[in-house]
Structure 1
Amino acid sequence: MTHPAAEGFFMPAEWAPHARCWMAWPVREETFPNGLPAARAAYAEVAKAIAQFEPVTMLCPDGALADVSLACGPGVSVLPVPCSDSWLRDNAPSFVVNGKGDVAGVHWGFNAWGRNYEDFQLDTQVGRLILENQGLKRFAAPLVMEGGSFHVDGEGTLLTTEECLLNPNRNPHLSRGEIEAHLASHLGVREFIWLNKGYEQDETDGHIDEIAAFVKPGVVLTMVTDDTSDPNYPVFQDNVARLKAARDAAGRTLEVVTLRTPARQEQHGVRLTLSYTNFYMANGGIVMPLFEDPMDAEAISLFGKLFPDRKIIPVPALDIVRGGGGIHCITQQQPAA
């Protein structure tokens, strides 16, 4: 089987035009300690916000079609696809394009973030079912990977963390170089920027979308904290240093934009990953998280400066974060042909 890059495919940046956004309706009660109704209301708000800019398709159980359609409104279509969980960034395909107007999908292996839970078999098939629904070519990748664990600039650069991609609970048989080779052949990237660790107590083992994101060519937004007693402080300082020392695939040094984290919040003694880099970039819009924190206003102001040509839509995200992720985690963009 040939690889996407061998056929001219590459993964575009998230600011490239989208055909649609994919999401999945919350179904796992134990994921959301505040209950499924609160989580579903939060997902619906995100879907409605994105639907202002581009089509949204929500996967859901066959018997829930009417309820989901009613909750999300007329701008969101629903598709019956069985799922174990609702973090579609991580088990949906990573879509790739070529210079001929074609779109295809990379279907990664999935093991529930290093087997955080065992009943994930339905989620391993979601990528295939989405691609079949869209009539798109499927490239099955020979490694376990989650979409939230990497970020690309569409110009050959990939940003990720050692904590996640080199974790033995994903691909213990692969070396760093072998992982890079698979990512290069499946996403069309050639330059890798490795940060060390992610957000403290992030159950994904350091997903990049909780700490950093490309916002335009040569520009990265990353989280920091002024609190030197915060365990994140040395981690984030190291991340900033690595980003400033890096060069992207075009040979540019990066412009590093920093944004402070909100105040610490916990749930059952575990820190919540409150991160403004966990946002969704829609066609002409930015759907960003709010955390009921004074830092929200600073984040909204910065996003307005970073994205002057996009409408900023802030959405309350605590009921999503309590489940273990954020707005970027629950969405997956499909690029336009």
Structure 2
Amino acid sequence: MANRLLPEWHPQDAIQLTWPSATSDWAPLLERIEATMENIVVAVARYQSVVISVPSTATRHHLRRRFAYLGVPAERLHLIVAPADDTWTRDHGPIGIERDGSPALLDYIFNGWGGKFEAERDNGLTQRLADAGIYACAAESRDVILEGGAIETDGEGTLLTTEACLLNPNRNPQLDREAVEAMLTADFGIERVLWLANGHLDGDDTDSHIDTLARFCDPTTIAYVRCDDEADPHYPALAAMEAELQTFRRANGEPYRLVPLPWPRPCFDPVDGHRLPATYANFVIINGAVLVPTYGDAADSRALVALGDAFPGRDIVPIDCTSVIRQHGSLHCLTMQLPRGSLATHT
């Protein structure tokens, strides 16, 4: 049976989210992150369904009323009680593939980005949702550690990732580069891997997830973070990353069209002053639109224009993520797409 890792622009049934809990690290910011999540749900529901795992029955009842008030069609909202440790669905959610023309979901081990955070409930969340009957196909357990934010694909056999994450001994210390590539070939039908050796964001807990740095927009286009401030500590690593991207070639030998994304002013945590990982690369592709994180910065408008050029024919929808980066992630990190045919009840 042939597997193919689906690109994010493949038709989707839904976006999956994990609602924040008052007992999580979001507690001091709960109202703010809930407001951001509401904005995401309202935006996505204009185009497709939304699946949300919620911490309690009371939360489910509250959100049904709240989203009805906000005009979200009931048939596009799927709420399942399944407690979690945190909200980063990109990394604990299922990864969609196509197998012999039909969708399938792969459920990888999530260990809190190398044991940095508690992740037991997050790791079991996909199976609990499968047991609840939300998926139209089985969630197939895999015995290796992998997060959705660590991988990007063109849908045509090429995978883009970072050495700092996929080769980190805090994930799969038994796997060297060759073994990682063999796993990617077996699970995803990958024919070649483009490894970035450079690039990082201060405040990022993920060991340089690719979705914070560089993203496929289509099989020929990569949007990436560019730092144009030579005084910024990020400048050397991101300049080296840009140079790497310029050497990458498509399978046919042609260079990629590279779309630089602007560099926002530094964002700092208001409590202890540490730098936060604001990045415009953390956009989300859905049916007919692209949701783009914004940070109340002058660079926001330039990012929206750049991604509008990269995604002709799609609506460009800004989502304020100033609260999201307080917990060291952004918009893409909160979401996981479910490919067409994988949702048991969908529109």
For normalisation by structure 2, the TM-score amounts to 0.90
CA offsets 1:53-87 (integer angstroms, 9 cap, x no match): 11111110232111222334434321112211110
Match of 2:296, SS? coil
8 Å CA contact 1:32–1:322 kept in 2: the answer is no
Correspondence for 1:191 = 192
Correspondence for 1:248 = 250
Match of 2:159, SS? strand
Give the aligned residue type for 1:279. Answer: F
Correspondence for 1:86 = 87
Give the aligned residue type for 1:256. Answer: L
Structure 1 pair 176–72 and aligned structure 2 pair: CA distance change class (3 A): farther
User: Offset of 1:317 from its aligned partner?
Assistant: 0.8
Correspondence for 1:24 = 18
CA distance in 1, matches of 2:253, 2:157: 11
User: Offset of 1:128 from its aligned partner?
Assistant: 2.0
Moved more, 303-312 or 293-302: 303-312
1:195-210 equivalent positions in 2, closer than 5 A: 195-196=196-197, 197-210=199-212
Correspondence for 1:111 = 111
Give the aligned residue type for 1:275. Answer: T
Correspondence for 1:166 = 167
Correspondence for 1:181 = 182
1:2-13 equivalent positions in 2, closer than 5 A: 7-13=1-7
Match of 2:324, SS? helix
Pick the aligned partner of 1:313 from 312, 317, 326: 317
Pick the aligned partner of 2:61 from 61, 66, 88: 66
Pick the aligned partner of 2:224 from 222, 225, 245: 222
CA offsets 1:131-162 (integer angstroms, 9 cap, x no match): 44214133322211111111111111111111
Pick the aligned partner of 1:41 from 35, 38, 48: 35
Match of 1:322, SS? helix
Correspondence for 1:128 = 127
Pick the aligned partner of 1:266 from 265, 268, 281: 268
User: Offset of 1:250 from its aligned partner?
Assistant: 4.6
Does 1:57 pair with 2:59? Answer: no
Q: Identity of paired residues, percent?
A: 31
Structure 1 pair 61–30 and aligned structure 2 pair: CA distance change class (3 A): closer
Gaps of 5+ in 2: 342-347
CA distance in 1, matches of 2:233, 2:194: 22
Moved more, 322-331 or 240-249: 240-249
CA distance in 1, matches of 2:127, 2:250: 32
Aligned length: 329
